[in-house]
Amino acid sequence: MAHPSHELQHMSIPDSSRRSPSFPVRVMVALGPLWARWESWQQRFRWAVRRLLGVPVRPRIHPYLGWGTPHQVRIRARVLEHRPLPNPKLARGLFGGIWASVLRYRTAEIPGVQVQIHCNGHRIVEASTDDEGFVDVTCALDSSGGPGPLTPGWHNVLLSTRLGKREHTIPCQVWVAALDPSVEPSAQGRAQIRAPLVISDIDDTIIDTHVTSRLSRARSLFLGEITKRPPFVDVAQAYQALAGGRPVFYVSSSPVNVHDHLTHWLEHHQMPRGPLLLRDWGPSMQGFAPDGTHGHKQQKVEGILHSLPVQSFILVGDSGQEDPVIYQQIVQNNPGRIAGVAIRKVPSKPHRVAVLNEIRIQWPKTYPDIPFLLFEHSRELLRFVDQIHPNTNPGTVAT
């Protein structure tokens, strides 16, 4: 894919595109590392005491969809203490929604536990959970003792962990991208992966959540019944055409605690299946989340690009937050990797409107070979499909 000439000047984006967080948020961000160290020590001390006293701990592995190439895959999961999940029938109404949210956010992460990952009968790696119980590891498949390259499509990888006499094993599904055999690996060091994949925001891009309103945002996260959060009209049809039968990567600032919540929503509304990359809310060594910024989205998107190094992507977001600026920066940092950018126009603050207009005006001059779509109705994405795949009927893109 052609990319903009290095002689072209980068876009000049107004400084107001990313405003500084409020004073209370800045204080929380500054205290985040100290708070995180205290929380880490407290958690590890608690689990050590429980093991010493022989208090039984029942681990539960929460797997997330993984992805990769035939030669390596990225596996993500979280190990928590097993606790009963909220009954969907009891999660209705105001008080039911509050109680379900309490159970959803009241998690007990298990740090420092070993997770074994097996594929096709081979143990490919053993990883330790971090302070928040997460495992995020890239596994080589064709190394010595490995299962060898995987065929394109979905595969089951087994995750297992043991605490005392209690063991938990669960399958984790991983999607493997197809490689184009028409390109010899020696031509550029790696084989070329086929047509672009989609990376999409969630709130106010596919779900009409009014994320620009803090009150509406809080209500949808903590009180709303997930299946009643409305999708934009025709968004499922548009995304099915854009994805062409392959997964979509969903990247959001929503807390990781609503992962199952959002997965159920995607299934209920017949959206393309795919990995969800959400944000771990709370203190960390990097500060505190949420902190009013969205730089983590750029890190996650570029992490996906790094894990599929010769794959091109379509970026879809909305104008309500920082998606236009973040996506422009990703295009600038990764020449030749982005096949198109689509931004849903939603009500937003005046300074964000000014930034969006500046990007829209300068885009054709700076990135003439990368289509940019500003849309209000999901069906406009169907025309975008024709720009990205001019010789392919929607829904039949090669995998």
Which tens digits make up the pLDDT trace of 51-97? 777 766 778 899 999 999 999 999 999 998 876 665 555 555 555 55
- What pLDDT was estimated at residue 235? 96
Helices 350-366 and 323-333: angle between axes, nearest 10 degrees: 30
In the chain, where the domains are located: 15-19+190-388, 59-176
Tell me the CATH architecture of domain 15-19+190-388. 3-Layer(aba) Sandwich (3.40)
CA distances from 382 to 124, 240, 251, 394, 397 (A): 41, 10, 21, 7, 13
Residue 29 CA to its chain's centroid (Å) = 22
Ranges of residues in the chain whose predicted pLDDT is under 50:
1-10, 12-17, 180-193, 283-292, 391-399
- What pLDDT was estimated at residue 114? 92
- What pLDDT was estimated at residue 368? 93
- What class is the 59-176 domain? mainly beta
State pTM to two decimals. Answer: 0.79
- What pLDDT was estimated at residue 10? 46
Q: In angstroms, rounded to a whole number, what is the distance separating the alpha carbons of residues 216 and 211?
A: 7
- What pLDDT was estimated at residue 395? 38
- What pLDDT was estimated at residue 157? 94
Q: Where are the beta strands (DSSP E) in the chain?
A: 59-68, 72-81, 114-119, 122-128, 134-140, 153-163, 166-176, 179-180, 192-193, 197-200, 248-255, 276-279, 282-284, 287-289, 313-318, 338-344, 372-375
Tokens of 10: 């980068």
